[in-house]
Amino acid sequence: MSMDHRTHTAGGDEKEILTIHDVARELGVSASTVSRAISGKGRIGEETRQRVLQFIQDSSFHPNAAARSLAQSRTFNLAIIMPEVRDLVDMPFFHTCMHGAEEVAQSNDYDLLVVTTDGTNLRPLERMVGNRKVDGMILTRTYAKDVFVEYLKQSGVPFVTVGRCYDPKVLQVDHDNSGACKELVMLLISKGMEKVAYLGGGMDQMVNIDRFDGYRQAYAAYRMETEKKWIRTDLTTKSQIAKAVDDLLKVGVDCMLCQDDYICDAVVHELADKGVSIPKDMRVASCHYSRLLDNFPVTITSLKFDIMDIGRKAAQVLIDQLAGKNPSTLTMLDYEISLKESTK
């Protein structure tokens, strides 16, 4: 063997770094043969193919990702775009989603890059796209008016959104938030809770728009009317939620439907503070289950979505797209209604 092999930086007994040329020379074949054996592309004799593969197995050869990337104009990297961590509360969703995506990425020989952004700053994305560091992107949250979607569309990078998106051409993976909420509310109504209050916030996000839509659809299905005073879609802070709960108690409703686990958490705490017993004095349900809801003395009725799975599906759809298959543009995932004490 030649002695001019580069070794890795730090001290240690690391193995030398081989190239396909090294392998080729060692085997008395040409570099292109080695390349073919590895990629499986192009004609190659079964015998030599096995010989090369065997040698590679035993040796410390790994193809150089950068070189491969340069030659093929592919990076084998995907990026996942995460919202900035305002509060730890809604981290679970995005992180679970991320792990799902990573799992599928790995098993398809892709690596996953994380990018965090607030809702407005495009810089990090522009850099990635510009430098061509990734083959495709996963957007984990969508807005009614979404600058990221707009940017990604015009940039030409393949991408998929977790969450619905108005443009039917965009690859989308989502739970049936609207359908799930509709079914939940219809169930509540059918159990005698005719006045279901809706506590929400952030109606700029698609997921919230869908959930609220489901709520209204449920009433429409029963040919019943919702009342304005039951509906609060402007809640962001804990104190706002607390105040809304107080207001609704005076208004007199049968059940408080919370847009997500965060709101539900605040609602349950406020009710406890007021000495209002669940479900005796007030019913409660959440449009999104998380572990937060397990910490109450009373179990909470909620919608359950398989979050890991949505991450997996998103990555899979994207990878299919990159592979030239034409995945269906909208992948709708199932939900589960978990009926508990809080709506007894």
Partner DNA sequence: TTGTACGCGTTATCAT
Partner DNA sequence: ATGATAACGCGTACAA
Binder among 31, 113, 187, 330 for DNA (CB under 7 A): 31
Q: Which residues of 66-92 are buried (b: 16+ CB within 10 A; e: fewer)?
A: eeebeeeeebbbbbbbbbeeeeeebee
Binder among 19, 59, 69, 108 for its own copies (CB under 8 A): 69
Binding string to its own copies for residues 256 to 285, with x set by CB under 8 A, is what?
A: ---------x--------------------
Task: Return the range that interacts with DNA (CB under 7 A); candidates 26-34, 115-123, 195-203, 269-277.
Answer: 26-34
| Shorter beta-carbon distance to its own copies: residue 150 or 281 | 150
Binder among 2, 3, 4, 13 for its own copies (CB under 8 A): 13
Task: Return the range that interacts with its own copies (CB under 8 A); candidates 40-48, 153-161, 280-288, 325-333.
Answer: 153-161
> How many CB atoms are closer than 10 A to CB 149?
19
| Shorter beta-carbon distance to DNA: residue 28 or 168 | 28
Which residue type does 11 have? G
Q: Are strands 255-258 and 283-286 parallel, antiparallel or unpaired?
A: parallel
* Residue 136 contacts residue 158 (beta carbons within 8 Å): yes
| Shorter beta-carbon distance to its own copies: residue 83 or 202 | 83
Alpha helices in the chain (DSSP H): 20-27, 31-39, 46-58, 65-72, 91-107, 123-131, 147-155, 177-190, 206-221, 238-251, 261-273, 307-322
Rg (CA), the chain: 26
10 Å CB burial of residue 145 (0-12, 13-18, 19+) is: exposed
Binder among 7, 39, 236, 237 for DNA (CB under 7 A): 39
First to last CA, the chain: 77
Q: Is 72 in the site for DNA (CB under 7 A)?
A: yes
Out of its own copies, DNA, none, what residue 47 binds, judged by CB under 5 to 8 A for its kind, is DNA
Binding string to its own copies for residues 84 to 123, with x set by CB under 8 A, is what?
A: -x--xx-xx--xx-xx--xx--x--x-xxxxxx-------
DSSP code string of 4-22: -----SSSS-PPPPP-HHH
Binder among 67, 147, 224, 323 for its own copies (CB under 8 A): 67
Residues of this chain, 190-229, that bind its own copies according to CB under 8 A: none
Which stretches of the chain bind its own copies, using CB under 8 A? 6-14, 60, 62-67, 69-70, 73, 75, 77, 85, 88-89, 91-92, 95-96, 98-99, 102-103, 106, 109, 111-116, 124, 127-128, 130-133, 153-158, 265, 291-292, 295-296
